[in-house]
Amino acid sequence: MKMIIDTDPGVDDALAIALACVMDEIKLIGLTTVFGNTYVEQSARNARYMLDMLKHKAPVAKGAAFALGRDSHDPSDYVHGPEGFGALTDIPQIGFDDPRSAAQFLVDAAAEHKGELVICPIGPLTNIALALELDPNFAANVKDVILMGGAYQHAGNITPHAEANIYNDAAAADAVFASDLNVTMVGLDATMQTLLTWDDFVQMGKDAPRVGGFIRDISDFYLRFYRSIGIEGGCAMHDSMAVLVAAFPERFTFENSGLQVILEGDELGRTCADPSRKKTRIAMGVDTSWAVPYVKSEIARLS
């Protein structure tokens, strides 16, 4: 399948990008970047850095710096590190290499690959909402949007009610769920069912010293954050789960419901049912005996 990942790299984004580059089921045709785990300029540099490390020829288009209607953003540096890649700093200043905005890049790609393009947003949904505004045919042109975000029956991870990607631009997320896009939400209900341990990352480093070793090194910071909030068993591979759903939906269980996002108050960013809207496919479970071994085996192919 032809895929664009909309990303805010991000430790778990790095693993998802590596997976998409190596998996035979996916043809990654570009990355678009957004604010979130880090500032959008840094996310563009990180995205380009990952593709160069993976020797994958695809463009990077820089997108939204802030949520809809806002003019500032505080990155999640306490989770992902000062530049998004754990303790690693001084990422080369390569940056984006496509002059179009991320939203325009998405609109153009959807028109070029009408009915074939899968968009996998693994950060705030601002670029997707902007693409919907740019082109009234965007939703019809896109095959699927398979996003990492949301918490349906699970508790939130940035507030008791909200998952971080949805919370960081609740208005954009609500616009996506209200649209005619074919949306699959891969949220905390599924992603928190499997954890990657330090031993898993060490194995990746042994199997693929260059790429796996990089993922191991940046994940140490991420694991420390998980331990700081009382999760000792490892860290979730949130973003990779969306990539896995795109390629192997049979390994997951789903519910279907229209969704809305709470836009104000204490429950800002909460994803909840709205039967009046087009149904979203919501990932609720995953084959836990398969997911981690599969990811490790694919990373090993990057040796």
- The pLDDT assigned to 169 comes to 98
CA distances from 282 to 171, 258, 259, 286 (A): 19, 10, 10, 12
- The pLDDT assigned to 95 comes to 59
- The pLDDT assigned to 78 comes to 84
pLDDT, tens digit only, all 303 positions of the chain: 999 999 999 999 999 999 999 999 999 999 999 999 999 999 999 999 999 999 999 999 999 999 998 877 888 888 998 888 998 887 776 756 899 999 999 999 999 999 999 999 999 999 999 999 999 999 999 999 999 999 999 999 999 999 999 999 999 999 999 999 999 999 999 999 999 999 999 999 999 999 999 999 999 999 999 999 999 999 999 999 999 999 999 999 999 999 999 999 999 999 999 999 999 999 999 999 999 999 999 999 998
The CATH number given to 2-300 is 3.90.245.10
- The pLDDT assigned to 73 comes to 83
CA dist 122 and 129 (Å) reads 14
72 Cβ contact list (under 8 Å, min separation 6): 66
Q: Which residues are catalytic?
A: 8, 238
- The pLDDT assigned to 91 comes to 79
- The pLDDT assigned to 97 comes to 84
- The pLDDT assigned to 90 comes to 78
CA distances from 196 to 12, 63, 112, 222, 284 (A): 11, 30, 37, 11, 19
- The pLDDT assigned to 89 comes to 83
Pairing of strands 271-273, 259-261: antiparallel
Q: 3-state DSSP call for residue 63?
A: coil
